[in-house]
Amino acid sequence: MDAIFTLIITSIIDGLAFAMLLFLIACGLSIIFGLMGVLNFGHGAFFMLGAYVAATLFEYCQNFAIALIGAGLFGMLLGLILEYSTLRPVHGKHLPQLLLTLGYLVVSTQAVLLIWGAVPKLFYPPGITGSVTLFGLRILLYRVFLIFFGIATAIVIYVILTRTRIGIVIRAGAEDSEMVEALGINVKRVFTLTFGLGSALAAIGGAVGVPWLGANPALGTNYLFMGFVVTVVGGMGSFKGSFFGSILVGILHTFTAYFLPQVTFLIDFIVMAVVLLVRPGGLSGKWG
Amino acid sequence: MGMNGMAKFSPRLFLDFLSTRKISLTILTILFFFPLLTPSRYHVTVLTEIFVLALFAISYDLLLGYTGIVSFGHSAFFGIGAYVFSILLRNQTPFPVAILATIFSGVLLGLAMGTFLTRAKGMTFAMVTISFAEIVRLLFERSRELTGGETGLFVPRPLFIKSIWFTYFGLVICALLIVLLCVVIVRESTRKDGINRVKASYFIFLGVFLALLIYMVPQKLSPLLEGSYIIVSTTNVYFLALMSFITLYFIAKRILNSPIGRILVAIRENEDRMEMLGYNVFKYKLVSMILSGIYASIAGALYAIFLLIVTPTFLEATFTINALVHCVMGGVGTLIGPVIGAGIMTIFQRIVSSYIGRLWMLVLGIMYIVIVLLLPYGIVGTWKLKGASVKKTIRRLIRSKTMFSRHKQTQKD
């Protein structure tokens, strides 16, 4: 009985930590889709590149904060450049956008293989590695850090989206970008900025995930796939949906991994199918 | 009605049809003679692969280009077709039964995937199909007793592929095509409207082709007919892929020119309007899904015969993405576009990867970006948009040149 209780608590903590990683990748994916209508395959690339940049920075300066900020800045910069140079010319054409972002993913995966090789890179930030024992439970500190980090990021994004001018423009653009343009706002610039911010979030997600997942070339594809599941479950283009969707998917995923490891690969699809069956627009209820 | 139907198939009309389609007839003849023309077996296998991948790309285009459904689970059709076909062949099922079962599997999977269409639209559907295909892949990878797991299954070649009689059959078709081509040439040359430059260049091309045939065929024919098992079966697989490709290509063309095809295009253009007009949009989407599934599963079965092995890689998203790239490169919403795309990409891949090996993937990724930026409408689409003006420019250039030379001549005089 006690063992099962311990297992449940541990898997809840693990599930929430995993959910926060998912949130960091799915949030940008969802907002970019909502605003620009781009199914962004390149998002996985930013997640993976963020992990590698953070791992490399940590090797040089041994400072976790610098590694995180560096990865975020790198993601932002790369996102801005890619959006401005390649995505903007094909604005509004779904298929070219899709192929283009797929190109980002393939190129970056191969570039990572060339630069860093196939061996995963790991680092352990001092201070938040190790574990504490509470009421006879061994809790990994890093997972707890992830949960708090994720919630803090979510709050920051929520405040940006609801309390600042740019956030209001982003939300209005997701509703009707033509109308926003007609009101005299340069929507293209908002697109570029949103793409940059989303990419930065994904890169930070990758960077934060390194001590757990390790920076490896498969990161991009695997977590992009999870991000898609969360986006569909949460509802396309919805910030709240991506937050609660990632918690649902993260916890269910971890629970099945602990209790029914044979069906872990099925669970994401089952969650998606059930949510679509009950609420075709995802948790947030908008029809995608 | 009956008389009318008879009149449609009179030999004169058939020959007229061939005369208007003389370029297609020429290309068809060249393709059928290809195993006798090429110096190496390698080229034959490359072309076989192109036919199979082109078939798969066409099936993807039926969904993407003609109905406007973005699906990322298309490799599931391909892989399941390949697996059903090879498992049946391994259990000594005759070829026709196996291929029918493959088609049936395509229909079933199309129905299954079509049911998602009721709940998910647009990009949501794309995401759902990604994960559906991933599940199918993992299921096939895990059921080791049936599918052999990651190592996959060896595919026994069906009996007729090993037999020389199928080669004879292909050669008979070659001979028939040559006879038809000769008849068309005679008809064209005896027409009253005389010979213009285009016609003359066509005749010159045909002359060179026939000369090449007369030179090459005797050299190639005897090693083929007395040849080893490998040469015969390579040629037979080529003929099989070519015949399936041609047949299915024309069936697809026929279907897309029929009312159903028009309705599908209309759904792509404006789904809500079609619904308002009283069409059952879901039903037509399902038809498109099933049709596409049949084509993709046949392509999978052919690929299994071609490679002699099926592995879970058949079910990977790579195949879907390749088909997408073939469509986008050649031109979405055209039937010949995916074929051109498949041809160019396959040949390009073979050449480039023989030099740089694994770096090919990097080049491929860069190519995705370049294709999108340079050819947003694909080769055929760009040609349709710009072809007239290109032709006009060329004509103007030629005319200005001739005028220039004439001007010079008058000056000399």
Cβ within 8 Å of B, A 237-266: 265-266
Tell me if chain B has a CB within 8 Å of the CB of A106.
Answer: yes
Whether A225 has its CB under 8 Å from any CB of chain B: the answer is: yes
| B366 to A287: CB separation less than 8 angstroms, yes or no | no
CA neighbor of B78 nearest in space, from B261, B244, B310, B247: B310
Q: Which of A33, A104, A277 sits opposite B123 (nearest CB)?
A: A33
* Cβ separation A107–B132 shorter than 8 A: no
**B38 residue type, one letter:** T
The residue in chain B having the minimum alpha-carbon distance to the alpha carbon of residue A88 is B373
Structure tokens at B247: 């047949």
Tokens of A122: 């790991």
**Are the Cβ atoms of A107 and B362 closer than 8 angstroms?**
yes
Fold type of domain B16-376: ABC transporter involved in vitamin B12 uptake, BtuC (1.10.3470)
pLDDT for position B298? 96
Nearest alpha carbon to residue B86 among B303, B233, B317 = B303
CA atoms lying within 13 Å on the CB side of residue B275: 7
Domain segments of chain B as ranges:
16-376, 383-413
**CA B138/CA B150 separation, integer angstroms:** 10
Q: Is A214 helix (H, G, I), strand (E, B) or coil?
A: coil
pLDDT of residue B402: 52
How many angstroms separate the CA atoms of A66 and B117, rounded?
Answer: 46
Helix B122-142 vs helix A264-278: crossing angle, to nearest 10: 150
Contact between B133 and B320 under an 8 Å Cβ cutoff? The reply is: yes
pLDDT of A287 reads 44
- Summarize pLDDT for B143-166 with one digit per residue, the tens: 888 888 888 889 888 888 888 888
Which of B64, B359, B368 is closest, CB to CB, to A102? B368
What is the mean pLDDT of the segment spanning A145-167? Answer: 92
Q: What is the mean pLDDT of residues A26-48?
A: 89
Taking the C-alpha atoms of residue A286 and residue B120, their distance in angstroms, rounded to an integer, is 12
A236 close contact with B: CB closer than 8 A: yes
Question: Which residue in A33, A48, A95 has the most chain B C-beta atoms within 10 A of its own C-beta, making it the best mutation to test that interface?
Answer: A95
A188 residue type, one letter: K
Residue B321: its chain A contacts at CB < 8 A?
A: 102
Interface test with A, best of B353, B368, B371, B373 (most A CBs within 10 A): B368
Chain B residues touching A88 at Cβ < 8 A? none
Number of residue pairs across A and B with CB atoms under 8 Å? 110
Q: Which tokens hold the place of B405?
A: 């030379």
**Do B123 and A272 lie within an 8 Å CB cutoff?**
no
Terminal alpha carbon distance of chain A: 44
Beta-carbon separation of A272 and B365 below 8 A: no
Asked if A3 and A165 touch (Cβ cutoff 8 Å), the reply is no
pLDDT tens figures, A159-197: 998 899 888 888 888 888 888 888 888 888 888 999 999
Classify residue B36 as exposed, middle or buried by CB count within 10 Å of its CB (0-12, 13-18, 19+): buried
Nearest to B124 among A93, A268, A288 (CB): A288
HSE-up of residue B10 (Cα within 13 Å, Cβ side): 9
Q: Which of B119, B131, B132 to mutate to test the interface with A (most CBs of A within 10 A)?
A: B131
- For the cut 80, the answer to whether the pLDDT of residue A33 exceeds it is yes
Q: Which residues of chain A does B373 touch, with a Cβ-Cβ cutoff of 8 Å? A: 86, 89-90, 100
Give the C-alpha separation, B165 to A228, whole Å. Answer: 52
The CA-based diameter of chain A, rounded to the nearest angstrom, is 63
* pLDDT per residue as tens digits for the range A213-262: 888 888 888 889 889 999 989 888 888 889 999 999 999 999 998 888 88
CA nearest neighbour of B110 among B370, B267, B296, B343: B296
| Mean pLDDT value across chain A | 87
- CB atoms A89 and B373 under 8 Å: yes
In a mutational test of the A interface, the residue from B70, B369, B375, B382 whose CB has the highest number of chain A CBs within 10 Å is: B369
Pairwise CA distance, residues A165 & B325, whole Å: 40
CB atoms within 10 A of CB B384: 14
Mutate to test the interface with A, among B66, B271, B364, B372 (most CBs of A within 10 A): B372
Q: Quick one: what percent of chain A has pLDDT higher than 70?
A: 98
Task: Note the helical H segments in B258-377.
Answer: 259-269, 271-276, 281-307, 317-330, 336-356, 360-374
Q: Which residues of A touch B365 (CB under 8 A)?
A: 102-110
Q: How far is A182 from chain B (nearest CA, A)?
A: 25
Tokens read off for B154: 């060896």
Extract the tokens encoding B399.
């005319």
pTM: 0.88
> Is residue A137 predicted with pLDDT exceeding 80?
no
pLDDT at B19: 67
Residue B191's pLDDT is: 67
ipTM field: 0.85
- CA distance, residue A91 to nearest chain B CA (Å): 11
Phi-psi region of B158 (alpha: psi -120 to 50; beta: other; left: phi over 0): beta
Q: What is the per-residue pLDDT for B206?
A: 79
How many whole angstroms separate alpha carbon A115 and alpha carbon A107?
12
The whole-number pLDDT of residue B6 equals 46
Flag residues of chain B having pLDDT under 70. Answer: 1-11, 13-15, 17-19, 190-199, 227, 398-413
Residue that has been written with the tokens 């790579």 in this structure:
B318
Q: How far is CA B186 from CA A245, B180, B191, in A?
A: 71, 10, 9
Residues in chain B: 413
Nearest by CB: A272 against B131, B372, B373: B131
A231 touches chain B (CB under 8 A): yes
Residues of B with CB under 8 A from a CB of A: 64, 70, 116, 119-124, 126-128, 130-132, 134-135, 138, 321, 324-325, 328, 332, 359, 361-362, 364-369, 371-373, 376
Distance from C-alpha of B23 to C-alpha of A242, rounded to nearest angstrom: 55
> Domains plus CATH for chain A?
2-278 (1.10.3470)
